[in-house]
Each structure stands twice: as structure tokens, then as C-alpha cells.
Amino acid sequence: MSEMKDVRTAQAVSREFIEFAIETGVLNFGEFITKAGRKSPYFFNAGKFNDGASLGRLAQFYARALLASGISFDMLFGPAYKGITLASAAAVALAGLGRNVGFAYNRKEAKDHGEGGVIVGTPLAGRVAIIDDVISAGTSVRESVELIRAAGATPAAVLIALDRMERSGTADKIGELSAVEEVRRMYGMPVVAIAGLNALLAYLQGGTDLAAHRDAVAAYRQRYGFESG
């Protein structure tokens, strides 16, 4: 597949995902306060992907985005707890697209009976793609990377649902990098998002019923946004 075709595929997946997130009520518009204390004109709540139909569709987006990225990977890893469901569902979706790979996840506490240990599923080996919903502080990514490397495997990429593309920090103290960019630089691996803030703005500029929120989202990006080089 050519690079141009990959780009077009990724753009199509992003737009479809934005539409899906709005339809399911996962993506909402208004006034919301983020964990960093910032007043945001939109809110993304992945916890609302909470039934079989929505999770199945979400998994298709993860699978399509990962394949469109062209990144080489051998298996999936889902950090506890949200990543457990996401990685297992994405593995099912990948198999449906003709790419059957193993998946694993971690326990929060080591088990001292049965198979023991903190890793459940396929033994960590080869190039491992980490599946999560978003990256905020990057804690789950750090823990995942440590577990993968300790097993002798290679962290290949992080795949998330939405990249807010905003600088770290608080409402008043704005950092230099976004959480996603910090992960990229710290671990030297790509972070692939099904969609990002740019895709959201492009959707709002498309003359939809939600176009009235475009200026507020654009102003938020102007104040806090981060564009990776």
C-alpha cells in the first residue's frame, strides 16, 4: 500500500470515528473542566463505549488505524484496566481483517497461584503495540514499556482513540510538549491516534449541525494546542 493511500485511509478512519463518537455520546460539546483545570469546549468519555455494539465498532477503528499506520507489530498489549478490553477487542477485529495476532495484559497485583505473575495472555515477544484509550500523564505507557522490555520484547507503538493535541500543564501553566509528544520523545516510538483535534476541527468545518462549536474548539487549540514536528 502506498504512503498516499495510507494517508487517505487514516483520514477516512479519523472522520468516521469522530462521527461515531458523536453518535454514541462519547464526544460532547459545551463547557467542561478537564483534570488539568482547563475549561474545554468538548469532552471525550471513552467509558461510554460500554455495550457490545459500540465496543465492536470501536475495535474496528483501532484495527483499521493500526493497519493504516504501516507500523510493524507482532502482538497487542492492553494496560490494566481499560486497555484489557481494548486490546482483546482490537485483536478480534484484526483477526476479522485477516491479521491474527496474540494479545496480553497485566494485572495490577501479581498472582502467586495458577499461572502466576502479572502478565496474562500471549507471552510478550517481538514487536508489541500498546492499546489504550488516551494518554494523559503517560503513567500506563511507562508501566507497559517497562513490562514489555523486562520480558525481552520491543515496544513498537502506542495506539489511542483520541489525541487532544494539547500542551501538558494546567489552565495557567502551559507546558512545552503534549503528553503524546512526551511519550514519543521519551521512548522513541510512534503514537498513533484514531483521531486527533485536527480531525475534530475539520469535521466541525464541514457544515455539520455542530459547526457552531467550531470557533470555541479553534480558540481552545490556539491557546493550548500542540503540533508535532
Active-site residue numbers? 111, 113
d(CA 27, CA 91): 24
Residue 141 identity (one-letter amino acid): V
d(CA 109, CA 120): 12
Scan for cell 501479581, then name that residue.
110
Using alpha carbons, select from 223, 201, 199 the residue that is nearest to residue 213: 201
Q: How many CA atoms lie within 13 A of 50 on its CB side?
A: 6
Q: How many CA atoms lie within 13 A of 180 on its CB side?
A: 26
Q: Tell me the torsion sign for CA atoms 69, 84, 35, 33.
A: positive
Find out whether 69 and 193 touch, Cβ atoms under 8 Å.
no
Q: Dmax over Cα atoms in the chain, in whole Å?
A: 58
